[in-house]
Amino acid sequence: MSDEKTHFGYQQVPIGEKAKRVADVFHSVADNYDIMNDVMSFGVHRLWKRFTLSQTGLKAGQKVLDLAGGTGDLALKMTSMVGPSGQVVLSDINGSMLRRGRERLIDNGVAGNIEYVQANAECLPFADDTFDCITIAFGLRNVTDKDKALRSMLRILKPGGRLLVLEFSKPVAPGLAPVYDAYSFKLLPLMGKYIAKDEDSYQYLAESIRMHPGQETLKGMMEEAGFNKVKYHNLSGGIVALHKGYKV
């Protein structure tokens, strides 16, 4: 068995263990995920996701995959963007998160143009050239082999299709980094402790953000995977970035 290691937050763990550890985190936080998103970001995550939706270019009749789609907030909006003749696939590796997303869409009366698939981003169970657009919001940093996942996404995009990666990144605004560090490592675990009753999971989430590649590194990874015309938009001073790339 391979003894190669990868990072789980700041810990080094065997590659084969990371997926299970990440799964345990999201099983733990699933029921409080939406309220914690609002609390942690002071509601700004809604603006980041609105901007992401504006960059999808989705039209009626198209097919879109929302990867690591969790509780379904992007998928919910996209069902109306592609209309009854289109299709949205909400996918997550974590069954608890996918269940929450399905419940949310059903509660909002969505049926017909939505499908739910539990899948690993590294080996997506879809045919080549299937989707007009793929989104992955705050999920790529939890993937063990990001390069493999990006190649898997490229394979299932149609020629001309686009990938949008919304993810925490590296602050670029002057003076923001130390404030953000204090927030991430002092306030965030406390919020997890008292609101979600799960301090350890939110400590991991803070650490996973720091271990995720910065803007230029991720841009290079997307280009190396085969994406074309890759660019990114810094949001909230670089705390978050939206990367966009196309399949030729």
Cα gap 159→172, rounded to integer Å: 33
For residues 92 and 98, the answer to whether their CB atoms sit within 8 Å is: yes
Cα gap 57→79, rounded to integer Å: 13
Cα gap 128→190, rounded to integer Å: 44
**Annotation-wise, does 200 bind a ligand?**
no
Rounded-to-10 torsion of CA 124, 130, 131, 132: 150
Angle between helices 95-107 and 33-41 (to 10 degrees): 90
**Annotation-wise, does 120 bind a ligand?**
yes
Tell me which amino acid residue 88 is: V
Cα gap 52→243, rounded to integer Å: 9
**Annotation-wise, does 92 bind a ligand?**
yes
Instruction: Pick the closest to residue 150 from 248, 247, 52 (CA basis).
Output: 247
Cα gap 114→88, rounded to integer Å: 5
**Annotation-wise, does 113 bind a ligand?**
no
Cα gap 60→51, rounded to integer Å: 19
Q: Which three-class secondary structure string do you get for 105-149?
A: HHHCCCCCCEEEEECCHHHCCCCCCCEEEEEEECCHHHCCCHHHH
Summarize the annotated binding site as residue ranges: 71, 92, 120-121
**Residues in binding site for S-adenosyl-L-methionine:** 71, 92, 120-121
